[in-house]
Structure 1
């Protein structure tokens, strides 16, 4: 299994700047073609590391999360990766190898590895290979609830989590849920959604959850608000609450994306 990651580099002067990149008041599309070297950020506390910041809280848009694509050069990483003690995280490795130390326990991560890191956890991450390691990092401030402890950390792999088919789809639409959806301790889910060629969301989902969707494989036509947008591996979609959405998988291979959504909490009644 391969997983898309930003291509970096820089197109030459013969390439047209036209693209499918768009930012609206309901959604944004950041295609792989614009995820280039000159738009990366360096992060305090990290060495030999660069990041594509694909989503960050914006007042009046999507406000609950940040999402990065992080590239660790050989020997790159951090002993102090997270500056916010209230932040939880999911790491999903797309390419290369890394060593995660989480509350004193070590884990060797490879492509397809998935880690949930609760707030206030002590963790480090270092590239242990001879090639760059690319990973997706989703960050959200945890919203505590009286009587509920924060979730425990866990590390797993894409291959270890069985997809669950949506009802009446014969497996054409399935979701790998890495956290138990009935566990109210979790206030965010980061899942992998898979559509077989021709599979679809057969209605325009319109709901309160914000989304970050990074396409890790395949192609689709995706409905965003009122617009049908062709998307493919490496493209990122960023949706605010209540943006209508649907998709139809195209091509000859499965269409898969890493999906963030905020869940399991009351809505705050003040801004």
Structure 2
């Protein structure tokens, strides 16, 4: 499996600065080529670590989550990564082998590992190897539901999660769901969606869920509101609620992306 991550670096002076990044009232596209060294953030409580903050709550846009790509240098990491005790998280390892401590348990993660971390969990993340580690980190404040406790922590590799074909797709469109979609304790999902070449979303979806969509592999033409945009590995798409969307996978390899969406809660009035 291949899992894209920000390239870093900096183009030289011969490169044309006109790019393909887009920010509109309905969606944003942050191409991989915009994820460079000079747009990283350095965060309190983290050592030898830099982060590309790809999404954060914006009033009038997408308001439920923040999404980072975190690069840990050898020896880098944090003993107290999360500053908000009400926040929950998903980690997805793109490259390297970081060490996660979650409560009293320790895990040496590998590329393709998905971790769910509940609110108020005690956890740490360190790179104990000699090579950099890249981790996608999605944060959301937990919205409690009456009579339900928050979910337990979960560590699972994506190869252990079946890709379930979508209805009437002949298997060219499939979703790996890391949690049971009928488990109402969860108020957000992070899935991997895969299209074989030529596969598509065969209608323009429009729905209340906000999305963060990080392309892990492959290429596609993606409909965003009224615009068709070409996307590829490392591109990030950020959608507000009700933005129409569809896609057609192009190229000769699967088109795969890590998808955030908020679910299972009443809208706040």
Q: TM-score range by the shorter chain?
A: over 0.9
Q: Which residue of 1 aligns with 2:28?
A: 28
Confirm whether residue 135 of structure 1 aligns to residue 135 of structure 2.
Answer: yes
SS of residue paired to 2:159: helix
CA distance in 1, matches of 2:17, 2:34: 9
Over aligned residues, Cα RMSD in angstroms? 0.4
Deviations 1:137-157 (A, max 9, x none): 000000001200100001001
Confirm whether residue 265 of structure 1 aligns to residue 265 of structure 2.
Answer: yes
Q: Which residue of 1 aligns with 2:108?
A: 108
SS of residue paired to 1:214: strand
Q: Which residue of 2 aligns with 1:199?
A: 199
Q: Which residue of 1 aligns with 2:241?
A: 241
Q: Which residue of 1 aligns with 2:178?
A: 178
CA distance in 2, matches of 1:91, 1:220: 25
Confirm whether residue 12 of structure 1 aligns to residue 12 of structure 2.
Answer: yes
Question: How far is 1:103 from its partner?
Answer: 1.0
CA distance in 2, matches of 1:173, 1:70: 29
**Could you tell me the TM-score, scaled by structure 1's length?**
0.99
Runs of 4+ in 1 over 2 A off after TM superposition: none
CA distance in 1, matches of 2:104, 2:42: 26
Q: Which residue of 2 aligns with 1:42?
A: 42
Q: Which residue of 2 aligns with 1:76?
A: 76
CA distance in 1, matches of 2:127, 2:256: 26
Question: How far is 1:108 from its partner?
Answer: 0.8
Structure 2 portions without partners, runs of 5+: none
Question: How far is 1:107 from its partner?
Answer: 0.7
User: Within 5 Å, which residues of 2 pair with 1:86-125?
Assistant: 86-125=86-125
Deviations 1:226-260 (A, max 9, x none): 00000000000000000000000000000000000
Confirm whether residue 51 of structure 1 aligns to residue 51 of structure 2.
Answer: yes
Q: Which residue of 2 aligns with 1:254?
A: 254
| Count of matched residue pairs | 269
**Could you tell me the TM-score, scaled by structure 2's length?**
0.99
Q: Which residue of 1 aligns with 2:153?
A: 153
Q: Which residue of 2 aligns with 1:217?
A: 217
CA distance in 2, matches of 1:215, 1:73: 23
Question: How far is 1:158 from its partner?
Answer: 1.1
